[in-house]
Each structure stands twice: as C-alpha cells, then as structure tokens.
Structure 1
C-alpha cells in the first residue's frame, strides 16, 4: 500500500486508519507489509472493485458485523490481532486482545467502514446532523475547492496523525478503563441478591466505570431469569446515584425510569414527595437520581420497584 493518498484527490479515513495500522505492524512479523515484497503479501486492501462485498462476518463467520469493509476494515480484519498484540505486549490469542479486537471494530473501525461505503446509520431521515465524527474531520483536511494549492499530501499526513492518535487513545481507554470494569460488574451481578431481594438492583463499588455493555453481555452469558433494572453507585462527591439500566446499548430509553412525579424535583421537596430522606435530584427524563447516602439511594430504587409492581397490579 502506498503511503501517499490513493484513489484520487480526496482523503479517505479508511485509508488513513489502514496505513496507520500497518505502521504498527512489527517489522519482524510473518509476511509483514512493512518488510515483505508485494509478491509475498497475500492480501489487497482496495475495496472499490465493483464485485467487492466482503464484511467481517463473510471473512470471519464467527463475527456478527455485516457492514461492507473499507480499506480500514480490511487491514484490521487481517492484521488487527497482531497489531493489538504488538501495541499492548500481550499474546495474540489472549483474552485481552480477543476482547479488544471485537470492541475496537464495533466501536471504531466499523463506523469508518460504513461512512466510507455510504452505509447510513439508520433507515429514514435523521433528526439532526452529525458533522464532527472522525470521517467528517478527516474530510475537512482536504484542500478547499478554491485553494490555489490542491496537493493532498500534507493533509494526508495530518489525517494519519489524527486517525492514528484517536485509534491509540481509544485502545488505551478500552484496555485500561473498559476492560477492567467487567470484573466489577460480574461480581456485582453475582452479589445482587445481597443488595435487594428482588435481584434486579445492582450495586457497583465505584461510579464512572463503563458498566452498561458488560451488564448486557453478562445477562446473556449467565442467562439471568430477569433483566436487571437499576444500578446503584457512589459519585465522586461521596453521594450516591440510582440509575436505570438502558433498554439497549444504543438507546436513551430506560428499562425502568424513576417515577414520573419525582422527575425534575430536587432536595427537600423531592424527599417529601418520595418519602425518602436525603434526596438530591431526579433527572427530567427519569434515567438517574441522586441521594446523599447509599441507604437513601437504595430506598429510592426500592420505591421505584414498588410503584412499578403497584402499577402492574392495577393494570392486571
């Protein structure tokens, strides 16, 4: 693959991340694109042929993603585990590299593949424009139509730095923050009945950790009989939060929002309305609330569950 901007004058984020990935490939690796002649490198990374329709799923049937690959996804598909192992100093077939390979494709590379191939994020007309995503920022590195200098080489180098830097930042976050959270969530799931007899309230020892995706995964892995509904955790100020579990990983809808009469109410007025001392707030959408103490947050959760049961009995 040439390091210059290929396929015409426009900068492609897929090419930028593909080239960045290849620069992280260990030069001593088998059939390394950095050291092997083209005749010994068995793959090609041009996705523009009319007949091309490969996805991660078609090339690796155990993977669920069916988005058509760009050059970014092609390089990542063939060399991603080796690249991550080299960057992290971890075994290529170890659990960390395996988990991070999937996480980075789903939450970083797939978006680039989709945008580069013109795949819409959802059907229908979007409600608002997204103009600050990675592909858009790379696109703005192209020369403007009326710039006297139309050379894209400098912009391509800047694109390499931009995309490569964001890839490394995302890898660092997932490796050092997201991945360790799984153990916390798994322990909380196993101890959930110690928090509340319902078994649908989770307590995390720390706030701010990315728990949601791990929770959804553990619900499936452990075949929990009931979905988890509410999560308790301390905030950085020493108070406590009660948060509803989202209905899914990519939605703002909650499985069980806090009661509607509490929403938008604060402090003593909320405590009197809810019948729970120490209340601080409930968000206007009901997805989260706060209390000064753990016991207060737990009582807010229990009263939310009780009101749900009461509403169910009345409707039945």
Structure 2
C-alpha cells in the first residue's frame, strides 16, 4: 500500500541571542532576520549557554564571534573594530548586532519591500539611507558613542524620538490630506504623546522615585564597603544613575569622595560592577574597568585578574560581571586601585 501521509512540515529555524536584559540592537536584528525568506518563521532562543547556542541556525549579539559564513554575528569581543563597510558615510561608529545583521541581510529585505533586485540602484540608495537614519543610532547607542564630539557636527542623528514620530504623522510631501484628515492625525499625535507622557509620569512615580531610598542607603554605606568610599552597593537593582548624581550634589561630595563603581545583583543571581559615568548623559566613565580586562571572559578573565568567578568585562570597560558578590567586589577594589 502506498504511503499517502502528507510530508512532515519542516520545523522553523532558530535565532539565538543572549538572555537577561534585552536591547534594541538584537531586537532589530531579530526583526530584520524575520523579514528574510530563510528566517521568516524562525523562533528565538535566548541563552548564554554555548551548548544551546550551538544548536541555533544563527546567533546574534552573543558568543563573542563574528563569522558570517558560520552565521555568527556578535560585536562584544576584544579587538572588534568593524564599522559599516560603505565608506561614503565617513564615520567611525562600530557596528552592533543590528548593524552586522543589517549589513548582511538589509539589501535583500529592502529589495523585497521595493520589489526589486538587491543590486538595484534604488535599493542601494534606500539601504544606505535607512542605515544612516535608523540603524546607525542604534549601533552608536549600543556601543556607547556620543552623538557629538568636540565639533559642532553630530556623529549621527536619531530620527526615532517621540518628536520625530509625531512629525511623521503629518502629511507627506506627495500626498493630499484635507483639513478633516489633518485634524484626525493631530488627535492621533495627541494620543501618542499623551500615552508617552502618562507612561513617563507613571514610571517616575512608581519606579524612579522609590529607587531614591535604595541609592541613598548605598551612598551612605559606601565607606563600609571600601575605605575609599568609591564603591557603592545597591541592596537591590533599581534605576540608580539620576539619583546618584542628585544625592552627591545634595551631600556636597568632593570628586575624590564620589563612587566610581556601583555593584548590584542581576536577574540570574550573579553580580555586576558598573562604572559611574562622568555626567548623567555621558558615555565616558569616572574610571573605567582596567583596560586589560576589556572584552575578556570567564576562565581567561579569572586568570588575568586573579579573581575567581569572573563572567565578563564589556569591550568598552563600562560594566563587568562575576558569579558572586565577593568576586564583583574584588573586581571593583582592583579597579579602584588600578592605574
């Protein structure tokens, strides 16, 4: 008897990325991949376990490896300097996983959207414009690049702010909208901004304000943590940056009495040591973690630092991790003493 069973449907492919806090770059990378024919039905596996990631069909923003031939797209490894390969943009902003995936798949995605071949000149023009206006700011923010240097010219322009989104609700130059239609769009804009405002008020009242007492306690106890007073430990994670600067000013602390590092427990039970930035809006740190540690992970970092339980130090040196509080504290102490 002939086998009349329907052929088994192929299971979807898997996109691997890191677990824990998610960021804009891997979210965008995932969205771009899901707009390709190959990964359209892909599921996402979020993990830092190398064995689990090895089972994925493509891995983004984790794994400390860039190899397009092996479908690996990370940017956190030491020595990574890759920028968008089209030199006409003339910038030095390193790619995040969003830029890496966009560079690899963006032309195909935009070509499908325009109904043209990826090599078409119009596709290329849109591809470059979308990178510069949308993807580049995401790369820059993820890599800690400030929009301005010492000149007046910005390194990049962020076109996804709430003001930009409101502006885009206005009629385009090549469409006709009557007065009633414009009024309707205005009401849409009011709702958009109103929702953002309400969310900001709710966050400030219910999340930001309660964090003040946690930061205030950490600042008061910092000399109990280390005699320098330059290491503060949060009793629980909270949005601490704004409060720290305000409380320092209120206490009239001198520069050498202010914390350089803040320790807190992460969602997995490990501990993070994060640098305090020079100002609330700066990507520069009062003192970064030791440069030799940057981009190094796990056992290699244990050996290099002489501290057991190390997990990582970011390539830019603004944050590191350890499996235990004692380990994270030891990292912070060595960082304070390092010159």
| TM-score, normalization by structure 2 | 0.54
Equivalent position of 1:252 in the other structure: 283
- CA deviations 1:269-304 (Å, max 9, x no partner) are 000000000000000010000000000000001111
Matched, 1:179 2:209: yes
Structure 2 unaligned segments of length 5 or more: list them: 1-146
CA distance in 2, matches of 1:146, 1:263: 50
Measure how far apart 1:194 and its partner are. 1.4
Question: What is the RMSD of the two structures over their aligned residues, measured on CA atoms?
Answer: 1.4
Equivalent position of 1:299 in the other structure: 330
Matched, 1:156 2:156: no
CA distance in 2, matches of 1:190, 1:145: 57
Equivalent position of 1:191 in the other structure: 221
SS at structure 1 position matched to 2:264? strand
Give the one of 256, 263, 267 matched to 1:232: 263
CA distance in 2, matches of 1:275, 1:150: 70
- CA deviations 1:84-121 (Å, max 9, x no partner) are xxxxxxxxxxxxxxxxxxxxxxxxxxxxxxxxxxxxx9
Measure how far apart 1:174 and its partner are. 0.9
In 1, are the aligned partners of 2:218 and 2:232 still within 8 Å (CA)?
Answer: yes
Equivalent position of 1:214 in the other structure: 243
CA distance in 1, matches of 2:245, 2:320: 21
SS at structure 2 position matched to 1:197? coil
Matched, 1:135 2:163: yes
| Displacement over 6 Å in runs of 4+ | none
CA distance in 2, matches of 1:206, 1:132: 32
CA distance in 1, matches of 2:175, 2:292: 58
Structure 1 unaligned segments of length 5 or more: list them: 1-120, 309-316
In 2, are the aligned partners of 1:143 and 1:150 still within 8 Å (CA)?
Answer: no
Measure how far apart 1:148 and its partner are. 3.1
- CA deviations 1:202-230 (Å, max 9, x no partner) are 000122x2111111111111112412111
In 2, are the aligned partners of 1:270 and 1:281 still within 8 Å (CA)?
Answer: yes
- Count of residue pairs brought into register by the alignment: 187
In 1, are the aligned partners of 2:229 and 2:258 still within 8 Å (CA)?
Answer: no
| TM-score, normalization by structure 1 | 0.57
